[in-house]
Structure 1
Amino acid sequence: MGPLVVCLVICAAVTAATWIASLVTREYSWVDRIWSVVPVAYVWVFAVSGGFDARLVLMAVLVTLWGIRLTVNFARKGGYRPGGEDYRWAVLRGRMAPWQFQLFNLLFISIYQNALILLFCLPALTVYAAGPTPLGAWDVVLAIVFLAFLAGETVADHQQWVFHRWKAAERAAGRVPRPGFLQTGLFRVSRHPNFFFEQAQWWVFYGFAVAATGVWLHWTIAGALLLTLLFIGSTAFTESISRSRYPDYDAYRARTSAIVPWFPRSHATAGERTA
């Protein structure tokens, strides 16, 4: 079988497994639990099938580093433990009839998201189809930028982790955490810096398809594009929850860029806590 067929078989098996697991456990974050693992497998399938071509191996190593970082972060937040479901699914279940949510679970959570995971890995298919070519300066630049974005996401996630541990300690001590949401560090220049860095890495990953072919536009750009659209929807949904919980969230929104890090429109308030 060609590498694309192998990846399609893996995708079909994982899709079925995550859907069945959600029905059995009544938890709906199984795709989240494989999100950082399956892309590593997909890209290494292309690297092995391509005879360990240098560019494909470089892409696979970068995605492996991405997967390790995301897996560690997800694990320390309890994502792999029973009951580690994304809190947003519970909110969404409360807004839907049971049959509507089950249809959403099948079509969007299980099928669409697994298809999307495969899609944003498919620049490796473009590189594989182009055949072996020597690594060049653009490959080095892309690798450095990818690692820079990886480091940025690591910092953002760590700042968020430290902040939520502080919130938990405050509640355990019988105090109400003030502020209730993170507004400092990287979160001073972007409301969702981890979202920004995550998307940016996959756009850089697509850049290797351009480096391999010298052609700017390939259909495999669809994965990065659809991932960005997913994050736009996820951001809107997440912020609707935050706005309902925190009366001062709108003021934060007014002064802070949504995704792309940028200078805040006013100075942070004195009550904000440094992460």
Structure 2
Amino acid sequence: MPQATPHQAAYTVLPSLKSFVADLPALNDPKQLLSWYTDPKTDPLHPALLASLFFSVGVWIVSEITGNVSQVDRLWTTLPLMYSAHFTFHPWLTGQVKHAYEIDHRILLVFALQCAWSARLTYQSARRGFLDPRSEDYRWPIVRRSMPTLAFKLLNLVFIAFIQNLLLLAAEAPVYLLMTQSLPSYGHTSILARLKPYQAATKSVPLNIADVLLAGAFLTTLVLEMRADNQQQAFQNLKHGALDKQKKGKTLTEEEKKAVERGFVADRLWSWSRHPNFACEQTTWWLLYAFTVLPFLPITESFTSHPLSTLTSLLTPTALLPASKRAYIHASNNIPTLDYILTILLHPILYIRASLPHLTNSDFLRSEAARAKLEALTAFRDLRNDEGHLWNYSIVSPITMSLLFYSSTALTEKISGGKYPLYNAYKARVAKFWPVQTPLKGLWLALTGGRRGRIERQIWGNDGHGRKIKQL
């Protein structure tokens, strides 16, 4: 049987999920629950999964009683940190290490970063009133009115209560992976030895340059997110203050007039991204996932011991690939040349006409289909082989978080588009999340009818000299 490593799903997470129900203690006995929790043979994912199901049932019951389905929203600020603390300190709580400082330092670093993340989110949620038990996300009443009552109740049960809670647990998959990776180094018998008798020997990888860079990137992202929050809050204060002045018949400044006319924040960071705070939030989850990949790459360890020679090798684009794949790339005749690619791009009609005889040849089409299938299977095999090296199962954390933000933001923008006349122009000019797309949008508008200037004047106005007001 092939050996598995902590970075592969077959090592821990799949056996853990399969054994969850069988390993549960009597749920009506607090002493047995406590004994089960502190037993080093208890898979740490099991108590977390049980807690997630408990919170799911709890928020569903409360939401049905109160009619307020935003109960889980108030848990977003603390539940991920709670799960992270559980996974981080599990070896200490179960006696696998005598002191908390003996816990793997990478896990402690990630936990510290998540404490900062939770503090920012808690402060922002409190500032906007989201922690008030009576508050409800303004989007839910709109969704509630748009569907039958029974359908919304099913949505509340399945997605709002259960799926969101499970996503909050899945968000901590990187911490669970790091914890299981460090457990064998403690030298204690645990659930890992029972579930994974064929596990490969693992070595402890100390903190290295990748951890430093990732921590710096995480904190930088957090600062940018706080800046975006503050800019949004300042705009809302300006707009609502202007509306109050307007009701009292007072004269508004030009800035206040523009805020009331536009209705939404669109300057500084918000002139580069329609949702810079959400972009930063997604980035933090990808950075946490990166802690399970980058520090363990051979090239990272090489950089720690031989930085200059490693930097030199990185100048080669294929430096991160295994030697066998590098040889394949250099030897392959199937990779198109630059001239071939440019011909297709610059003369597509000529390329299509030259290809027509092949496209009408059934034998050629069958052979191409077979070749494409073989290449797809080969790519899938390579992807599977790269599990635990270039990717691992905890990638489910950033992927699900990104999908959640994309779907929820689609609803938000649909509402904003109907509420603010200029919002569609803003969407045409500014990227949804990633700032690198904003200049491309501007270029596209300039090349397609010269609409860029008109749209920018609608959104930002002029400074008196025909220049767009767009502050960073």
- Shorter-chain-normalised TM-score: which range? over 0.9
Aligned twin of 2:14: none
Q: Distance in 2 between matches of 1:182 and 1:172?
A: 18
Aligned twin of 1:24: 65
Matching residue within 393, 401, 411 for 1:227: 401
* 1:135 lines up with 2:207 in the alignment: yes
* 1:189 lines up with 2:272 in the alignment: yes
Q: What letter is aligned with 1:169?
A: G
TM-score computed with the length of structure 2 as normaliser? 0.56
* Alpha carbons 2:174, 2:289 under 8 Å: kept: yes
Q: Distance in 1 between matches of 2:68 and 2:424?
A: 31
Q: What letter is aligned with 1:209?
A: T
The alpha-carbon deviation at position 212 of structure 1 amounts to: 5.3
The gaps in structure 2 that reach 5 residues or longer are 1-41, 93-102, 183-203, 248-256, 298-388, 443-451, 463-468
Matching residue within 163, 173, 176 for 1:112: 163
* Alpha carbons 2:218, 2:284 under 8 Å: kept: yes
* 1:75 lines up with 2:95 in the alignment: no
Aligned twin of 1:43: 84
Q: What letter is aligned with 1:172?
A: D
Give CA-to-partner distance per residue, 1:216-250, whole Å, 9 cap, x none: 21111112111111111112111110111111111
Aligned twin of 1:149: 221
Give CA-to-partner distance per residue, 1:38-73, whole Å, 9 cap, x none: 111111111112442111111111111100100110
Which deviates further from its counterpart, 172-181 or 129-138? Answer: 172-181
Which deviates further from its counterpart, 121-130 or 262-271? Answer: 262-271
Q: Distance in 1 between matches of 2:263 and 2:274?
A: 14
The alpha-carbon deviation at position 87 of structure 1 amounts to: 0.5
**SS in structure 2 of the partner of residue 209 of structure 1:** coil
Instruction: Report how many aligned residue pairs link the two structures.
Output: 275
Aligned twin of 2:26: none
- Show structure 1 runs of 4+ deviating over 3 A: 211-214, 271-275
Which deviates further from its counterpart, 89-98 or 42-51? Answer: 42-51
Q: What letter is aligned with 2:420?
A: Y
* Alpha carbons 1:123, 1:220 under 8 Å: kept: yes
* 1:99 lines up with 2:140 in the alignment: no
Aligned twin of 2:339: none
Q: Distance in 1 between matches of 2:431 and 2:167?
A: 26
Matching residue within 174, 178, 182 for 2:261: 178
Q: What letter is aligned with 2:225?
A: E
The alpha-carbon deviation at position 213 of structure 1 amounts to: 4.2
The alpha-carbon deviation at position 151 of structure 1 amounts to: 0.8
Q: Distance in 2 between matches of 1:107 and 1:130?
A: 33
Q: Distance in 2 between matches of 1:212 and 1:255?
A: 38
Q: What letter is aligned with 1:210?
A: V
TM-score computed with the length of structure 1 as normaliser? 0.94
Q: Residues 249, 6 of structure 1: CA spacing in aligned structure 2 closer, same or farther, 3 A cutoff?
A: same
The alpha-carbon deviation at position 274 of structure 1 amounts to: 7.2
Q: Residues 101, 274 of structure 1: CA spacing in aligned structure 2 closer, same or farther, 3 A cutoff?
A: farther
Give CA-to-partner distance per residue, 1:155-201, whole Å, 9 cap, x none: 11111111112222222233582220111011100011111000000
Q: What letter is aligned with 1:227?
A: M
